[in-house]
């Protein structure tokens, strides 16, 4: 039971509240248990259409009526793109209406969609991030694509699709939509001042730490890396081969991992040596602005920040080198992105399923990542191949070209990292806060990791009480 409740409660921890997905009435198909097709039916406050949880595929050849499509934080900046896409779908399917709504990211989004799910008012088609999709999947609130739309996953990069089976019985309940693969970005001029090879980015985290130490000691007022590990620590630990959870995903078990101890120790040593800006542990966690100022060796691992660097400091931009995200040999890049799910309580499953399949097909994933205005990558194989061959806005721009090519390599080999789904919200906060204490020298690395592990497990154990 602990494993199930851990997953179902991730969103609750992010909000410091309880995830109430059980409901009041067990009438109709909403009483829990398993359906005839071995699809578990959740406890919800409404009847679930029998066709949503039986063993048959959903026929999408004839669709009509209307559904609601909810995205996460896209309407303000990308409204024109999605309005045009929705109109395109409606024109191709006369008699249907897609009502588009949007919720902002962060805790507010999690809280809203959780409330919607518990009251059977979640949108028919939802765009949600990794942590939320896990909670909804483990609570059986999303449609089982493997049963209801066999073969729908064939269009996705195999390593991504194969590692995102989060539903009951190892089935897929979410379609991977888009993500920003991590890469290394670095200032070649800072490298040269420190006596480093400007054409040789670090391949592993240990090499990155060594480079950062040399930069911090160059006497030029340069810094090696930005201090706060809030955004990228989980991916960096993964790159060093650290597994945060035990084998059966019931508890965190990393405090004695030598690679994890080494990670925190190196950060603490860099901070003490002045290779990390002192104020970077308390301010904005994104190193983008500090990198743009010109005296930070390593920038943001997500290529999207390069657009801002180009606008604000062309010299730094032109001197930016790129390389793969530092990982030990044999470790796959992390897929941490956005997904599309269909509510298991939808009253119009044919239309919802058809729209979900359509918005994530190769043509539309390519259009979104190429023309939508965001620097992101698709999860559909053909879309990714096409984007690699025809990336946006880089005709005469070697920096963007190199960044896109490096990110595309990572995208093709990426897989979901289970720990990312569990270490979110308040659970992740406990890790960050304790590691930051160690970086500042307030506690030793081993103590920080042990305290973090204990606090993280306490938060998870509370869900089983």
Classify residue 248: in a domain, yes or no: yes
Please indicate, yes or no, whether residues 328 and 341 belong to a single structural domain of this protein: no
pLDDT at site 25: 31
Residue given tokens 């670090």 in the structure block: 202
Classify residue 382: in a domain, yes or no: yes
Please tell me whether residue 423 adopts helix, strand or coil conformation. Answer: coil
DSSP H or E segment with residue 343: none
Please indicate, yes or no, whether residues 292 and 166 belong to a single structural domain of this protein: no
| Domain residue limits at 75 | 24-179+336-390
Give the chain's end-to-end CA distance (angstroms, integer): 11
pLDDT at site 395: 56
pLDDT at site 64: 98
Please indicate, yes or no, whether residues 305 and 430 belong to a single structural domain of this protein: yes
Please indicate, yes or no, whether residues 372 and 421 belong to a single structural domain of this protein: no
Classify residue 408: in a domain, yes or no: no
Backbone phi, psi, residue 145, to 5°: -65, -35
Please indicate, yes or no, whether residues 421 and 375 belong to a single structural domain of this protein: no
Q: How far is CA 396 from CA 154, 305, 317, in A?
A: 35, 19, 14
pLDDT at site 308: 87
Q: Taking the CB of residue 443, how many other CB atoms lie within 10 A of it?
A: 18
Please indicate, yes or no, whether residues 279 and 324 belong to a single structural domain of this protein: yes
pLDDT at site 3: 36
Classify residue 446: in a domain, yes or no: yes
Query: Could you write out the three-class secondary structure of 242-262?
Result: CCCECCCCCCECCCCCHHHHH
Classify residue 50 by its DSSP letter: H
Please indicate, yes or no, whether residues 70 and 118 belong to a single structural domain of this protein: yes
Please state the domain count of the chain.
2
Give every CB contact of residue 425 below 8 A, 6+ residues apart in sequence: 10, 11, 13, 14, 15, 107, 110, 131
Please indicate, yes or no, whether residues 351 and 436 belong to a single structural domain of this protein: no
Please indicate, yes or no, whether residues 220 and 368 belong to a single structural domain of this protein: no
d(Cα 129, Cα 71) in Å, to the nearest integer? 10
Half-sphere exposure of residue 49: CA atoms within 13 angstroms, side-chain side: 15
Please indicate, yes or no, whether residues 171 and 79 belong to a single structural domain of this protein: yes
Give which of 177, 171, 111, 176 is closest to 140, Cα–Cα. 171
Sign (positive or negative) of CA dihedral 414, 250, 45, 50? positive
Profile the chain (465 residues) by mean pLDDT over runs of 10 residues.
36 33 33 54 89 95 97 91 97 98 74 77 92 81 96 93 88 94 95 97 96 92 87 91 92 97 97 92 78 94 87 96 94 90 96 98 96 86 90 78 87 83 81 94 98 93 57
Classify residue 360: in a domain, yes or no: yes
d(Cα 138, Cα 166) in Å, to the nearest integer? 7
Give the CATH number, domain containing residue 345: 3.40.190.10
Please indicate, yes or no, whether residues 297 and 242 belong to a single structural domain of this protein: yes
Please tell me whether residue 40 adopts helix, strand or coil conformation. Answer: strand
Classify residue 7: in a domain, yes or no: no
Structure tokens at 274: 């002045």
Classify residue 136: in a domain, yes or no: yes
pLDDT at site 23: 30
Structure tokens at 262: 């080494």
Please indicate, yes or no, whether residues 123 and 262 belong to a single structural domain of this protein: no
Classify residue 271: in a domain, yes or no: yes
């Amino acid at each position: 039971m602990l494993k199930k409740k851990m997953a179902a409660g991730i969103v609750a921890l992010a909000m410091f509240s309880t995830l109430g997905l059980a409901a009041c009435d067990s009438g109709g198909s909403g009483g829990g248990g398993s359906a005839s097709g071995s699809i578990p039916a959740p406890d919800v406050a409404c009847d679930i259409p029998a066709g949503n949880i039986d063993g048959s595929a959903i026929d999408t050849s004839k669709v009509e009526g209307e559904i609601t499509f909810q995205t996460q934080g896209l309407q303000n900046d990308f409204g024109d793109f999605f309005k045009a896409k929705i109109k395109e779908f409606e024109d191709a399917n006369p008699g249907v209406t897609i009502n588009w709504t949007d919720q902002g990211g962060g805790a507010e989004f999690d809280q809203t969609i959780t409330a919607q799910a518990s009251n059977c008012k979640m949108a028919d088609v939802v765009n949600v991030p990794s942590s939320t999709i896990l909670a909804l999947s483990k609570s059986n609130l999303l449609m089982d694509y493997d049963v209801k739309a066999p073969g729908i996953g064939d269009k996705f990069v195999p390593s991504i699709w194969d590692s995102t089976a989060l539903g009951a019985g190892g089935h897929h309940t979410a379609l991977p939509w888009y993500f920003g693969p991590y890469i290394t970005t670095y200032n070649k001029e800072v490298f040269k001042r420190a006596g480093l090879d400007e054409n040789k980015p670090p391949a592993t985290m240990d090499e990155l730490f060594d480079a950062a130490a040399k930069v911090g000691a160059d006497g030029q007022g340069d810094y090696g890396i930005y201090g706060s590990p809030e955004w990228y620590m989980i991916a960096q630990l993964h790159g060093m081969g650290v597994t945060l959870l035990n084998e059966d995903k019931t508890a965190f078990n990393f405090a004695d991992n030598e690679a994890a101890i080494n990670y925190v120790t190196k950060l603490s040593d860099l901070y003490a040596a002045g290779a990390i800006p002192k104020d970077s542990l308390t301010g904005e966690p994104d190193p983008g602005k500090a990198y743009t100022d010109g005296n930070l060796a390593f920038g943001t691992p997500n290529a999207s920040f390069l657009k801002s660097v180009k606008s604000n400091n062309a010299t730094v931009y032109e001197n930016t080198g790129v390389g793969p995200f530092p990982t030990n040999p044999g470790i796959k890049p992390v897929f941490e992105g956005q997904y599309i799910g269909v509510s298991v309580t939808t009253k119009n499953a044919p239309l919802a399923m058809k729209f979900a399949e359509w918005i994530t097909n190769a043509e539309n994933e390519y259009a979104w990542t190429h023309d939508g205005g965001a620097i992101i990558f698709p999860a559909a194989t053909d879309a990714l191949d096409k984007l690699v061959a025809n990336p946006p806005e880089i005709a005469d721009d070697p920096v963007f070209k190199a960044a896109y090519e490096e990110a595309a390599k990572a995208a093709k080999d990426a897989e979901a990292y289970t720990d990312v789904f569990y270490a979110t919200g308040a659970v992740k906060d406990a890790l960050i806060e304790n590691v930051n204490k160690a970086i500042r020298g307030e506690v030793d690395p081993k103590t920080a990791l042990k305290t973090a592990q204990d606090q993280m497990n306490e938060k998870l154990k509370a869900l089983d009480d």
